[in-house]
Structures are given as structure tokens and as C-alpha cells.
Structure 1
Amino acid sequence: MLHSATRTSAIRRRTAAVTALICAGLLATAAPSAATSPAALAAAPPDIPLANVKAHLADLQSIATANGGNRAHGRAGYKASIDHVKAKLDAAGFTTTVQQFTSAGATGYNLIADWPGGDANQVLMAGAHLDSVSSGPGINDNGSGSAAVLEAALAVSRAQLKPDKHLRFGWWGAEELGLVGSKYYVNNLPAADRSKISGYLNFDMIGSPNPGYFVYDDDPAIEQTFKNYFAGLGVQTEIETEGDGRSDHASFKNVGIPVGGLFTGASRTKSSAQAQKWGGTAGQAFDRCYHSSCDTTSNINDTALDRNSDAIAHAIWTLSTGTTVPPGDVYESTADVAIPDNGAAVTSTVTVSGRTGNAPATLKAGVDIKHTWRGDLVVDLVAPDGTAYRLKNSSGSDSADNVIATYTVNASAEAANGDWKLRVQDVAAQDTGYIDSWKLTF
């Protein structure tokens, strides 16, 4: 990542993730439509073998060790890394292209790999930067993202996936010098080709040794795909802020391409609340070896790497199937509202204006409530005329933390414009929480 100065079983995990998508309304339970091919639906996202990803990391470590201890732009270790990844992809049936550029007086390289087939007018891309800083081998930053994207691509080949969208993968050079490689790629794409990219997924540092689980807050459909996956694992996520604009997704975002991605943290310190949520050590950086010589194969958290690698495959399989429906207009409140323990109901308001007619029959209410016992909570959506739509009942057996979900409400009888409220009441004692944020998507 660019410096700011410049198992439960696989089946159970997949079932939980698919269930979360169905509950969120992102997957239909009806028969497949013509826009969603039976072949694509039949191919479930694979469980990415952690051992395979770690083998790629060991290869990158060996390359660095044999080439002055790093894989930095302009150094022999970087070119060897490109050649190594390209050979894997060529053998797996990808069409690969090495793109050259010049930065800081040295030749740089991007590697692009296209999987045959899919709609060339709808391209889903996944990528990671392959270069390290000069001070170390760059195994977490960013061997982790590069290796996971590589293994996801190889999984596409093993499955002989026939997605509806065209799949393209990218490994970028000179990211550490200012996103140079990804900027070069995007700037040299004709406008017509840019418009064909339906989404770019970026993975930069996904195996930090003291990890967090961060999701990019960019394209809503991509963001929700990752959030639903982790919700299916029972893993809470937070919005990624530390690396925003500091990795290669920014090059795509800046020209209007929808982006998203995952991150496990760099030099910032893990808080006590984050350590309670994710484990690890509070008061310590997510990655103490960030941009240092100790960023070796010992600088990886296997659980984080495994989860994020599986999430990459899940997103590729999910987002490459069918036609992605563009998200509607979003109205959101991010103001925290405390929920009194066993007390009166509280509300958070979202004002909708400038619309005509009634709300849709598929109004989406996305809820993020932090609470230590979600079974205590009753949650309603209240329309501007006072009509209440029950989203969640209390339940003594619902013992998990937090309510993080998207509900679909038939609000077609309601005028769209006005003050909509999320109403939450804690109906039992001993647990506390707050409304973190919520949004309506029309």
C-alpha cells in the first residue's frame, strides 16, 4: 500500500453467505431468469485453499531473497515476480498481457490476465499491486493481495467458470511510488473500454498479523456483497478509512469506474473495541512490519488471509453472474443514537425529498445497530404518515451481537417524500447499544 506521505466447514460457510444474500434481497430464490444463466448459478463459489495462497507467498519471498531482499519497482525482484505470476496464468489458460511504463527512470510492468468468454461489454476486474517497497520483501504489502487474486484466478480456471460477465485480473507495478501502474493502465484505456468495466475489486494488505476486517465504502453493490459474505461468517466489518485513496482502486474510481475491496489494516493502532470484536492486540498496529524488512512470510495472519481469500472468490462468482442492477438513490443517517437499556423507543430520521409519487414496493432499509444482545431489540421502519413496518421482533433465543441487515419493505402505499424514521426499542434488561447508521435505498 502506498505510504500516506507520498473453518467451520466450507459448505457451512458458503451456505451462511448465500443465506445472507437471500435475506438481503441480493439473490432471488425463484427460478433463474434469462439474464442469469443456469451454468453460472450452478457454479458455487469455491473455498480457496489457504495452503495454495501461502505457497504463492513463499514463492514471492524466495524471489525477494534471491534479488536483494525486495520486489520493488525497477528492481530485478519485481520483474521476476511478474514473470512468475504470468507463467502460472498462462498455464491455466488465461490470455496475458504485460504492459510497460516508465517511472523514476526505470521500466515498470503491469500484468493483465483475461479469462476467455463472458460479455465483453460487462467486464468485472479484480486486482492488486505486486511491487514491494525497497526496504523489504512486501509479503503482506502486497504479496497477500497479489497471491489471493492469483489463486482466485486459478480457481476460475479449475472450475472452468463460464460467467455472464467477462473476467479480467490485474497486477500493478509502482503502486508504492504513487499508484503509477494502475494510473497508466486506466489512462491508456479508451473511454469506450472504461465504460465496459462494471466494477473493479482491489485487494491491498489482506493478511495483516493483528488484523481488522475493513470493507471499502465505495460502490454500494460491491460493498454489500462483501458485507453479506462476512455477515454469513459471523464476522463484523468496519468501513475502510486508513487506505482510502492510497491504493489502486483510486485510479479506477477517479475515472468513474465502480470500485470496492478489502483491507486488514496497516500502521494505525487497533483500538480496544476492535480487539474485543476481532481478537488480536489493542494498542498495537494492525501491521507492525508495514513497509519494513520484517514484512516476510512470518508477518501473516492465516485466519485473515483465509477469510479474505474466500471473500474474493465469493465476490467474483457473485458479481460476475447476471446483470448487476445499479443501486437506487440512497438516503442515509450516520448519526449515533443511544438505545436505553430496557427503556423507551428511540428514533433516527432520514429525510427524503425531491421524489415524485410513492415509495417502491421493494424499498430497502439497511440497518447497522451495535448492541450486545440483539434479541432484546424491536426494530420498525416508520413512514412519514406514521405507519410502522416491523423489521425485527425481539426474541430470547436471538443471542448474537448487533443487527446488521438489509430489509425489503413494500412501501408502495406511502408517499416517498418526507421524514422516515428507524425506531428501535430495547425491551429487556442488562444489554446496551446504539444505532450506528441506517439508510433507505429507493
Structure 2
Amino acid sequence: MKLSVPRRVPAVAVFALAGLLATAAPAASADPADVRPAPVSALAAPDIPLANVKAHLDRFQSIAGSNGGNRAHGRPGYKASIDYVKAQLDAAGFTTSVQQFTYNGTTGYNLTADWPGGDVNQTVMAGAHLDSVSSGAGINDNGSGSAAVLEAALAVSRAQLQPTKHLRFGWWGAEELGLVGSRYYVNNLSGTERSRIAGYLNFDMIGSPNPGYFVYDDDPVIEQTFKGYFAGLGVPTEIETEGDGRSDHASFKNVGIPVGGLFTGASRTKTSAQAQKWGGTAGQAFDRCYHSSCDTTANINDTALDRNSDAIAHAIWTLSAGDTTEPPGDVYENTTDVAVPDAGAAVTSTVTVSGRSGNAPAALKVGVDIKHTWRGDLVVDLVAPDGTAYRLKSSSGSDSADNVIATYTVDASAETANGAWKLRVQDVARYDTGYIDSWKLTF
């Protein structure tokens, strides 16, 4: 996982965090809607053998040891890691592709592997960054995610899985230098190719030695798939915030692809409440060896690695199976541009719903297209006709990407369907501008 990028200040080459959050409102989750739960008839995912995942980690450790102690971008240890993963997948019947890119004057590599069959217009991807920092072997960050995704792919081959959706797996280069590899991959997809990706699942640091169990909240269906799995184990989860926007899922999310994933914590300190919930040591980092030379095979919590590896398989089996399409609903849309003032008052755009009976649905879809040069500045709410506000997006000083293009799901069942619904947007920090391009409600 790369280091966070603090907020910039104009005219000087220094950075500072953005300002205060706006008043909270009931939460909703992003749901670009192409990935939905599989029917109950879907085949159960296999248990992923921990020993197999750890064998891959041993191999990554050995590769680093033979190549200057690391597996970093532009170093021989990274290319050797790509070659190892590719050989495993080729032998298992995948169609693999190595994509080259150049960064900082050196060649980097992405690896993708496609499993035969499934609807390519509904492709489910799972991926992880394969590079380490230059200071160590990077076994938790991110050998753990890379090894677990590899073993999940091999489990697909062993089961000769025939999912309804197409399956693709990815290993990204130069993540530690700023999501370079995954961004290069996404930017080189055509619009049609992007539209075929129903969801991307990201796994970065899933074996931290003092672990937490964190789930991305970017897409509600993917989120609930993981939460449901851990709930079945009796393991509580929390929403992932430490790495929000700092790993490869951001490259996909930035172009409107639904994303989700798992994380066990990096340099933040485990609280007493979290230690009581999950065990481990309060007052200590989730991973004391984050970006350090001690991130070796000794820096892995086997229980966390095992649970997360099985959760990956569960998500792949669940999200790729069955008929996951839904008939379209009635759409109410406003396409008139509304300027969002820099660090100014909230603005609104209105959609009027009429001719419906009863209340709004429990899964009201709110499609948002906001053009903005630093979306972390933005707070976005849906305001019901009676004035009740539902928080769609909070501000985040570290979220430096452009634009908010997503669909959110809101439980609006307490609201009368008919009336003037408003999208309310406020820029809460200075120096970046944008506008509401369009938004819509789908009943």
C-alpha cells in the first residue's frame, strides 16, 4: 500500500489536509449496480488452504532474498515475482497477459489472467499489487494479497468453475509509487472494456500481525458479501478508512467501476475497543513492520491470512455466479449543470417525482455525476421532499482524485415517493472547483 498523499496548498510545493466535515446525515453506500448477490443455488466456495498461500509467501521471500532484499518496481525481484505468478497461472489453464509500462525511467509490469468462459460483458475482477517497497521483501504489503488472490485463482482451476460471469485476476506493478500500474491498466482500457467490468475486488495487506478486519464500503453489494461472510464466522468488521483511496481499487473507482475489498491495517494504532473485539495488542500498530525491512514471512498473522483468503474465494464464487441482472426501474433525471462554489455554500439540484403511489423504495438508486478537480472536498447528500437528508458522500482530505461518478443506494422507505427530491453538494475546502453535471433517481 502506498503512502497517503496529503492535500495541496496553492502556489507552493507543500501539502496540507483539507478542512472540516459538514454536518452528518444518514448514510448510504455507493452501488454502481452491476454486481449483485448470486442466487442461493450458487456453488459454495472451497476452503483455501493456508499452507498453499504461505508457500507463495515463502517463494516471494526467497525471490526478494535472491534479488537485493526486495521486490520493488524496476528491480529484478519484481520481475521474478511476476514470472513466478504467471507460471503458476499458465500451468492452471488461465490465459495470461503481461502489460509493460515505464515509470521513473524503468520498466514495470502488470499481469492479468482470464479464466475461460463466462459472460465477458459481466467481468468480475480480483487483484492485488505485487510490488514491495525498496526497503524490504513486502510479505504483508503486499505479498499477502498477491498470494491469496493467486491461490483463489488456482482454486477456480482446481474446481473447474463455470461461473455465469467472466473471471479475471490482476497483479499490479508500482503501486507503492502511486498506483502507477493499475492506473496504467485502467487508462488503457477502452470505454467498452471498462463497461464490461462488473466489479473489482482489491486485496492489500490481509495478514497484518496485529490485525483488524476492515471492509471497503464503496459498493454495498460487494461490502455486504464480505460482511456476511465474516458475520458467519462470528468475526465483527469495521469500515476501512486508513487506506481509502490509497490502493489500486482507486484506479478502478475513479472511472466508475464498482469496487470493494479487504484490509487488516497498516501503521495506525489498534484501539482498546478494537483489541477487545479482535484480540491483539492495543496501543500498537496493526503492522509495526509496515514499509520496513522486517516485513518478512515472520510478519504474518496466520489466522487473519486464512480468514481473508477464504473470504476472497467466497466473494469470487458468490459474485460471479447466477443471473445477477435486474429489470430497469423508472428514472427521474436532472441534466442541468449547477456550479459548486469553491469552499462555499451548498448548492442543490432538484428532481421532481410525480404520479407514484406510496413511499419510495428501500433500495432507491441515486446516480451522481459531479465533475470536480478534487473530489475529497465534496460532501454530497440526498434531501427527501420532507427535508430529511441522507449522506451519500463525506469529505476526505486524502481523496485527491477527480470527479464523483457513482450510484448510491438509499433506504428511502420512510419517505413519500412524490415530491421535490434534491441533490445537495457542498465544497468544504479551498482551491478546487467543479459542478453537478447530472443526477438521477431510479425507482
Report Cα offsets for 1:38-90 as digits up to 9, x if no partner: xxx2x311111111100100000000001110000000000000000000000
1:247 positional shift? 0.4
Q: What is residue 236 of structure 2 aligned with on the other side?
A: 236
Q: 2:310 is paired with a residue of what secondary structure? A: helix
- How far off its partner does 1:323 sit? 3.8
- Counterpart Cα distance in 2 of 1:58 and 1:328: 51
The 5-angstrom pairing of residues 412-423 of structure 1 reads: 415-416=416-417
For structure 2, list consecutive stretches of 5 or more residues without a partner in the other structure. 7-35, 331-350, 365-384, 387-410, 420-441
State whether structure 2 residue 143 is matched by structure 1 residue 143: yes
For residue 141 of structure 1, give the secondary structure of its aligned residue in structure 2: helix
Q: Distance in 2 between matches of 1:328 and 1:292?
A: 51
Residue 362 of structure 2 is matched in structure 1 by 363
Correspondence for 1:169: 169
Is it true that 1:100 corresponds to 2:100 in the alignment? yes
Equivalence map 1:6-405=2 (5 Å): 26=37, 41=42, 43-325=43-325, 355-356=353-354, 357-358=356-357, 363=362
Structure 1 position 230, deviation (Å): 0.7
The CA deviation at 1:358 is 4.2
Could you say which residue in structure 1 is the equivalent of 2:437? none
Give the 3-state SS of the residue equivalent to 2:140 in structure 1: helix
Structure-2 change in CA distance of 1:70 and 1:359 (3 Å): farther
Quickly say closer, same or farther: Cα 1:354–1:301, change in 2 above 3 A.
farther
Quote how far apart the aligned CAs of 1:26 are: 4.8
Deviation at 1:360, TM superposition (A): 7.2
Which one-letter code corresponds to 2:250 in the other structure?
A: A
TM-score, normalising length: structure 1? 0.69
Q: Which amino acid aligns with 2:281?
A: T
Whether the 8 Å CA contact 2:38–2:320 is kept in 1: the answer is no
Does residue 3 of structure 1 match 2:3? yes
Give me the whole-angstrom Cα distance separating, in 2, the residues matched to 1:236 and 1:355. Answer: 39
Residues of 2 paired with 1:238 and 1:191: CA distance?
34
Q: Distance in 2 between matches of 1:417 and 1:209?
A: 52
- Amino acid paired to 1:167: L
Contact map agreement 2:142 2:205 (CA 8 A) in 1 = yes
Instruction: Go from structure 1 to structure 2 and tell me whether the alpha carbon gap of 1:273 and 1:322 turns closer, same or farther (over 3 Å shift).
Output: same
State the match for 1:424 in structure 2.
Answer: none
Letter in 2 for 1:179: L
Query: Segments of 4+ in structure 1 off by > 3 A?
Result: 25-29, 323-329, 353-356, 358-365, 414-418
Give how far 1:220 is off: 1.1
- Give the secondary structure class of the aligned counterpart of 2:126: strand
Q: Which runs of 5+ in 1 are unaligned?
A: 7-24, 33-40, 330-352, 366-383, 386-408, 419-440
Question: How far is 1:120 from its partner?
Answer: 1.1
SS at match of 1:88: helix
Q: Is the 8 A contact 2:123 2:197 kept in 1?
A: yes
Could you tell me which residue of structure 2 aligns to residue 339 of structure 1? none
SS at match of 2:144: helix
Separation in structure 1 between the aligned mates of residue 226 and residue 358 of structure 2, nearest angstrom: 27
* AA at the equivalent of 1:70: N
CA apart distance, 1:217? 1.2
Q: Distance in 2 between matches of 1:90 and 1:80?
A: 15
Shift of residue 415, structure 1, vs aligned partner: 3.9
Give, in whole Å, the separation in 2 of the partners of 1:416 and 1:65.
63
User: 1 CA distance for matches of 2:270 and 2:250?
Assistant: 24
Distance in structure 2 (CA, Å) of the matches to 1:27 and 1:189 = 27
Relative to the length of structure 2, the TM-score reads 0.69
Judged with a 3 Å threshold, the aligned counterparts in structure 2 of structure 1 residues 160 and 124 are, in CA distance, closer, same or farther, namely same
Q: Structure 1 residues 321, 55: CA separation in 2 closer, same or farther (over 3 Å shift)?
A: same
Which whole-Å CA distance do the structure 1 matches of 2:306 and 2:286 have between them?
Answer: 17
Q: Which structure's relative contact order is higher, taking Cα pairs within 8 Å and 6+ residues apart?
A: 2
Aligned equivalents of 1:4, 1:360: Cα separation in 2: 42
- SS of 1:294 mapped into structure 2: coil
The 3-state SS of whatever aligns with 2:297 is coil
Corresponding residue for residue 395 of structure 1: none
Distance 2:358 2:135 in 1: 56
Distance (Å, rounded) in 2 between the aligned partners of 1:359 and 1:159: 47
Q: What do residues 300-357 of structure 1 show as CA deviations (whole Å, max 9, x unaligned)?
A: 001100010000000000000124357999xxxxxxxxxxxxxxxxxxxxxxx96553
Residue 319 of structure 1 aligns with an amino acid whose one-letter code is L
CA RMSD of aligned residues (A): 3.0
**CA gap 1:358/1:271 in 2 versus in 1, 3 angstroms:** farther
Q: Is the 8 A contact 2:359 2:416 kept in 1?
A: no
